[in-house]
């Protein structure tokens, strides 16, 4: 698990969008699942994201017209999704304590419930990489701690979270600092923040 720590506007979300193939870099290469995604077509990128990347957005990005369960299962129902996604999605709903609220629409749920549904949706296709953009930014302290615990306990996958909250970054195995769009060594970032 890697946390990228930086102030608002430092480039954290842009970095996640590049890692997940939502944006293209101006230079260099990004290799994901053994493939240079900078050389992929838009269709190829969509397939890679569907099968290999799970996104957890700060604003949840749940579809209001769908129930919580339908939001979770949606990626599993897309053409090209792997097998067993729907079964995995229903299992995740149970494991995350969402069974009783799964039939409700997002506007009927708390922020913590919405974020747990968003995490289940991110995991439904069993991705190797989970990208979380300010996963606790819209949550109270208790729900934030729950979400961080869920992300920390994910197994068999790489997790990258970007945050401006040092407390959230503490759960990571490694913390990188982003300042003005550049990763800086730990010693420089500590000196500049002092």
Query: 26-74: per-residue pLDDT in tens?
Result: 999 999 878 899 989 999 999 999 989 999 988 889 999 999 999 999 9
Which has the closest alpha carbon to 107: 137, 64, 72? Answer: 64
Q: Which residue has the tokens 């949606």?
A: 74
Angle of helix 85-95 relative to helix 111-123, nearest 10 degrees, comes to 150
Which pLDDT does position 191 carry in this prediction? 38
Query: 134-156: per-residue pLDDT in tens?
Result: 888 888 888 888 888 888 888 88
Superfamily classification of domain 2-193: P-loop containing nucleotide triphosphate hydrolases (3.40.50.300)
Domain ranges of the chain: 2-193
How far, in Å, CA of 179 to CA of 184, rounded?
7
Query: 68-122: per-residue pLDDT in tens?
Result: 999 999 999 998 888 889 999 999 999 888 999 999 999 999 988 999 999 999 9
Q: What's the pLDDT band for 127 if we cut at 50, 70, 90?
A: very high
pTM beyond cutoff 0.75: yes
Across 17-25, average pLDDT? 92
Q: What's the pLDDT band for 188 if we cut at 50, 70, 90?
A: very low
Contacts by 151-157 with C-beta closer than 8 Å and gap 24+? 151/1, 151/56, 151/119, 152/1, 154/1, 154/123, 154/130, 156/128, 157/127, 157/128, 157/129, 157/130
Which pLDDT does position 187 carry in this prediction? 47
| Tokens read off for 61 | 């990005």
| Tokens read off for 74 | 């949606």
Which pLDDT does position 186 carry in this prediction? 63
Query: 170-185: per-residue pLDDT in tens?
Result: 999 999 999 888 888 6
């Amino acid at each position: 698990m890697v946390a990228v720590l930086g102030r608002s506007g430092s480039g954290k979300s842009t970095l996640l969008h590049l890692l997940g193939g939502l944006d293209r870099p101006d230079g260099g290469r990004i290799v994901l699942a053994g493939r240079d995604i900078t050389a992929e077509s838009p269709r190829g990128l969509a397939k890679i994201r569907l099968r290999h990347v799970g996104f957890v957005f700060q604003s949840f990005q749940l579809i209001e017209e769908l129930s919580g369960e339908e939001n979770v299962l949606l990626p599993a129902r897309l053409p090209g999704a792997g097998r067993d996604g729907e079964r995995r999605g229903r299992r995740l709903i149970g494991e995350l304590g969402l069974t009783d609220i799964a039939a409700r629409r997002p506007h009927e749920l708390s922020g913590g419930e919405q974020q747990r549904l968003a995490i289940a949706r991110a995991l439904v296709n069993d991705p190797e990489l989970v990208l979380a953009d300010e996963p606790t930014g819209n949550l109270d302290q208790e729900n934030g701690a729950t979400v961080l615990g869920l992300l920390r306990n994910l197994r068999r996958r790489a997790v990258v979270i970007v945050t401006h909250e040092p407390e959230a970054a503490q759960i990571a195995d490694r913390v990188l600092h982003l300042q003005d769009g550049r990763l800086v060594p730990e010693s420089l970032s500590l000196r500049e923040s002092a």
